[in-house]
Every structure is written in C-alpha cells, then in structure tokens.
Structure 1
Amino acid sequence: MIARAIVCFACYFLTFPLPAQSSYSIPNDSKKILFLGNSISYAGHYLTYVETYLRLMHPERNWEFINLGLPSETVSGLSEEGHASGRFPRPDLHERLDRVLKAVEPDFIFSCYGMNDGIYLPFDESRFSAYKKGQGKLQQKADALGIPLVHLTPPVYDRAQDPAYAAVLSVYASWMVSQRYTQDWKVIDLYWPMRKFLEDRRESNPAFALTTDGIHPGEQGHWLMARSLLKGIGESQHLEADLHKEVFDSIPLGAELLPLVREKQELTRDAWLTFTGHERPGLREGLPMDQALSKKDELMQAISTLLSTGKIR
C-alpha cells in the first residue's frame, strides 16, 4: 500500500506539474547569504555558479556568500546502521545550527536537505516524519530570528539499481514543494526540473547521467541546480544554456571571475566549518578565522578590481 502511494504521488507530479512559483527576492539590505546543506552543498559548485552570476549581474551589491554545507549531514537527525563503515554516524544539522547562526549572523539562508534524510532505505513513515520535523525545526528557528529562509528541494537521485530510494526522494521533494502552499514556506524546486531534464535527455541517449554515483551531481547537474535557484530569485538573463561554461563564456568577465569565486568559496567554507565546529570527521581543517578573512579580503579586492576594470589582479 505504501509503495503504491509513493508511485502515485510521484506520477502525479510528473503528469500534473505544480503551478509556477513566485520568485523570491533577496532584500537589498541582505549582505550575508548563508548556505546550509550536505556534501552536495559542501562541494559547492552550484554555490560558485550562483555567486559568480549574481556578482556579474549585480556588481553594485555588497554580497557575502557563506557555504556551511557539511558532508553526510541530515536535517532529520537520522543515520543508518553502519554508516561510513561504522566510523561515525551522520551529523545532525540541529547539533550545530545555533552555533552557526550565532557566529555568522546571516541576513538570508538557503537550505538544501533531503538526499541523505531517507538514509538510502525504502520509504518509511517514521523516517519521513523525522525529515518533516527537522525541516520544521529549521523553519521555526529562522522565523524566531527573523531571518528569511529559502528551502531548496534535494537534487535528483539516479541509481538504476535502487528505484525504491528514487521514489523516496520524489516524495520528499514533492512534500517540500507542497509547503509553499500549505505553510507559506519559501521553496525553490531543484528536483523536478533536474528529473525532467534527465528524462528528456534519455529519450535520445539512454546512458545519459547527471551523476557518476547516482547521488552527487557533476558540473552540469550543479549548473542545473544553480539555474533553478537563480530563476527562483527572479533572475532570467543568460539562463537558457544547459552548461555553465556556455553561460559564463557569454557574459563579459564571467570566465575570469569564476575561478576567483571558487577559490574564495573553498577558503571561507573550510574556515567557517572549523570555526563553528561539527561532528563530521575527516574534513580538511580550515585556516584560523582571522587569517581566512584576511585572505578573503584580498580575493574580494581582486574580484572588485576585475569587475570594475576588467583586469585580473
């Protein structure tokens, strides 16, 4: 019965697309933009594309994009038995959330969870309930602090040998989208645009894939995530291409800016994760915060010089 409900729910969203969402703007006085998520956010390619694009389109804005994605993390607090060969359980966002919010003091938050939250098992109502509860706790925390929060649905899961978990992710993503209408949450859908793109491509190339492991998107998958996010905050220019290189090659200074933003993102990500603390072993230790911020300022000066003069450092 449960399996049938999952399939029906997923098929409904494929057959009857949701109404187009209203775009969400980042207020002009929002400077610190925080990204929370799991290993996909930690990898950060979609964040780099988003930041690069926004700096090119809005060079007058005084943005600060902060990536605090943590590999293996869930918003549900769940972990499967024997995770990471028994070396450590999955970290729980809520263990570190208060420290992160106190240290960063963000003006705006993007959050991307769901991929790990069903812990790669068939659908179970108790696990689904934990995911919903965890997302609700995050929303309540943001509301209590008066911080605008935009939820991002998980990207597509694509392991042919595991259709049961693919169905779970369909349900989780669809439930999250439904919160736009039932709870007035701000939600940008990454999952269904990626899934439609994948299925369209496979009509002519059955071997086409957006990931090598079914979980972590490659560069094209990250670009599709970034594109949906950008459209979700009202952007439209240069977003027709399906590859990030085509986009940034078409925007003056785009190809030059991208590596500077990537370098800054990786530097500050590692520093903030070390500074705020977490329960995920095995990550690269970041620089002390004062050193990281000094290097970040140097990179921001290079970014500002490039955008104002067209010259790199």
Structure 2
Amino acid sequence: MNRRRFIARSAMATLGIMASGCIREQKVKLQKNQVIGCFGDSITAMGNGYVQMLQTEYDSLYPDLKLRFLNYGKSSETVTGLTEEIHPGPRPYLFERLDAELDKEPIDFATFCYGINCGIYGKPSQELFDSFKIGVYTFLEKIKQRQIKAILLTPPPLALDIVQKASPENDSQPYGYLNPYPEYDKEVLQEFKRIVMNIDHPSCMAKIDIRTPLYEKRANCYDEDPIHPNTEGHRLIAKTVRESISVQRT
C-alpha cells in the first residue's frame, strides 16, 4: 500500500481521539541546553528567516541558556501528501522523512509550521480539511513516541491582495501555486488556522497564531510573492513566537 495512504488511514482510525474545542493554554518554558527542531516548508527553510532570527535573539538575550534551534524546513513540503497538477513533480511529504530527521539527534521541542502548501492552492473541501487534521495529528503522535513536545504555528496568510498572482480564467484550468484559487486565504487557510488552534493533544504545549499579525501587517511583510514573507515578515514571526514562550533560567 502507498505509504502516504497507509499513514492517512492509520491516523483516520484514531482521529476521533482529537478533541476540538478543549484547548489547554500553556506557557512553554525553555530551559538550559534544550534543542528545538523547527519543521515546516520553504517559509521555515529560509536560511535567514525566523528560525535563524530566533537563534540570534536567544543567543543575545539568554546566552547562558545555550539553546539551539535546528532548521528542518523543506521547500514545497506538505503534511497532506497532495500535489497540484501544475507542480513540477510530487511535493515532498513530511512523513517520508520525519523519522530520519528525528533520528539525527535528540530534540526537546518540535515546532510545526505547515499549511500554505497543504491545500495545494485550490478550493476548500471537507476531505481537504480532514487531510490536514490527519497531518497535524500524525505529527503530534510521531513526536509523542519520542517524548518530544510540540509548539504548533498556524499557517501564514496568502497575501494575494498585496502581491497578486494570476488566476485561471475559468474553473477548467487547474489551480496551483502559480495561480491560486482567489479565496484560498479566506476559505482554506483560515480553516487550517482554526484546526491548529483547536487541536488538543498531550504533546502540544502551545499553539501560536502567526497568521493574524502577518495578515494585519501584510503590506509591510510581503513584496516579491504572496506566499513567502519578506525579512520584515520573518522578523514578525520570530517576535510572535518569542513573546508566546518564556525561559526558565534556574
């Protein structure tokens, strides 16, 4: 059986364990010598993006803690296992590499920032939303097996009104990253945000909404394309994450 299908079916069998609406607000406290592995797509993978900014900020503010932020981002990746027709080859699928990445070295926390690619820039559907729920849940179950705690980040917005991408002239033309469904941000990414913010799982220590501040300041946070925040956008992501967690110095 196709590995993606097997993972999806296995997760679907236990999907009911997730409780939406039972949200436990917790304050993450980072401690000395902890390692934070940051998983995500190209937004996370950016060399001088929010992951590197977090490392620089914590090194400056709390040099005695010796925290390490490891960048496990991968361009084009999804947790749904989907690929749009116009994409050049299958999109990478997190669960085909997650075990290998986790085997490299022990980590204490894993951050999760997916969603922008996961709906493959098309129209909403319940099947799509279930696939994203399964992806988030599977990630949480995988790291639970290794006693790693999660910090979930919502997907960022798709800033089409700031940097417009061409849209298909009619519905017969396939949507994709080069020509997103015009309401992708409102009808898909908003729901993905809701899913992330409503998940309750023992491995999840925090859920951080990076979408709202990026959306509110999107005129300053996007310039070259509507998918990838610019340097100011990454700075805002890092600030939002840092303000949502604390440190324990003793």
TM-score (norm 2): 0.75
Task: Answer yes or no: is 1:228 the counterpart of 2:240.
Answer: yes
Matched ranges for 1:192-211 at <5 A: 192-198=212-218, 210-211=222-223
Relative distance call for 1:231 and 1:208 in structure 2 (3 A) is closer
Task: Answer yes or no: is 1:127 the counterpart of 2:147.
Answer: no
Q: How many residues align?
A: 203
> Corresponding residue for 1:243?
none
Q: Please state how far the C-alpha of 1:22 moved relative to its aligned partner.
A: 4.4
What amino acid sits opposite 2:85 in the alignment?
Answer: E
> Corresponding residue for 1:145?
146
Alpha-carbon distance between aligned partners in 1 of 2:183 and 2:56, rounded to the nearest angstrom? 36
Say if 2:221 and 2:232, in contact at 8 Å, map to a contact too.
no
Three-state SS of the structure 2 residue aligned to 1:68 is strand
Q: Please state how far the C-alpha of 1:62 moved relative to its aligned partner.
A: 2.1
> Corresponding residue for 2:195?
175
Q: Please state how far the C-alpha of 1:104 moved relative to its aligned partner.
A: 2.4
Q: State which drifts further: 189-198 or 88-97.
A: 189-198
Three-state SS of the structure 1 residue aligned to 2:31 is coil
Relative distance call for 1:213 and 1:56 in structure 2 (3 A) is same
Say if 2:222 and 2:230, in contact at 8 Å, map to a contact too.
yes
Q: Please state how far the C-alpha of 1:67 moved relative to its aligned partner.
A: 0.6
Task: Answer yes or no: is 1:77 the counterpart of 2:85.
Answer: no
Q: Please state how far the C-alpha of 1:27 moved relative to its aligned partner.
A: 3.3
What RMSD over aligned residues (CA atoms) do the two structures have, in Å? 2.1
Say if 2:31 and 2:65, in contact at 8 Å, map to a contact too.
no
Q: Please state how far the C-alpha of 1:34 moved relative to its aligned partner.
A: 0.8
Relative distance call for 1:22 and 1:148 in structure 2 (3 A) is closer
> Corresponding residue for 2:6?
none
Say if 2:111 and 2:153, in contact at 8 Å, map to a contact too.
yes
What amino acid sits opposite 1:164 in the alignment?
Answer: E
Alpha-carbon distance between aligned partners in 1 of 2:99 and 2:210, rounded to the nearest angstrom? 26
Matched ranges for 1:87-126 at <5 A: 88-126=89-127
Alpha-carbon distance between aligned partners in 1 of 2:58 and 2:84, rounded to the nearest angstrom? 38
Computing the radius of gyration from Cα coordinates, the structure with the larger value is 1
Task: Answer yes or no: is 1:38 the counterpart of 2:41.
Answer: yes
Alpha-carbon distance between aligned partners in 2 of 1:156 and 1:46, rounded to the nearest angstrom? 16
Between Structure 1 and Structure 2, which shows a larger proportion of strand residues?
Answer: 2
Alpha-carbon distance between aligned partners in 2 of 1:215 and 1:54, rounded to the nearest angstrom? 27
* Structure 1 unaligned regions, length at least 5: 1-18, 199-206, 236-313
What amino acid sits opposite 1:212 in the alignment?
Answer: E
Alpha-carbon distance between aligned partners in 2 of 1:77 and 1:66, rounded to the nearest angstrom? 24
Q: Deviations over 1:199-226 (max 9, x none)?
A: xxxxxxxx65524211000011111111
Three-state SS of the structure 2 residue aligned to 1:128 is helix
Q: Please state how far the C-alpha of 1:183 moved relative to its aligned partner.
A: 3.9
What amino acid sits opposite 1:83 in the alignment?
Answer: H
User: Of the candidates 38, 45, 62, which is equivalent to residue 58 of structure 1?
Assistant: 62
Q: Please state how far the C-alpha of 1:170 moved relative to its aligned partner.
A: 1.2
Three-state SS of the structure 1 residue aligned to 2:66 is coil
Three-state SS of the structure 2 residue aligned to 1:83 is coil
Alpha-carbon distance between aligned partners in 2 of 1:53 and 1:63, rounded to the nearest angstrom? 11
> Corresponding residue for 1:304?
none
Alpha-carbon distance between aligned partners in 2 of 1:209 and 1:232, rounded to the nearest angstrom? 20
User: Of the candidates 220, 227, 230, which is equivalent to residue 218 of structure 1?
Assistant: 230
> Corresponding residue for 1:261?
none
What amino acid sits opposite 1:232 in the alignment?
Answer: S
Matched ranges for 1:7-22 at <5 A: 22=26
Matched ranges for 1:247-262 at <5 A: none
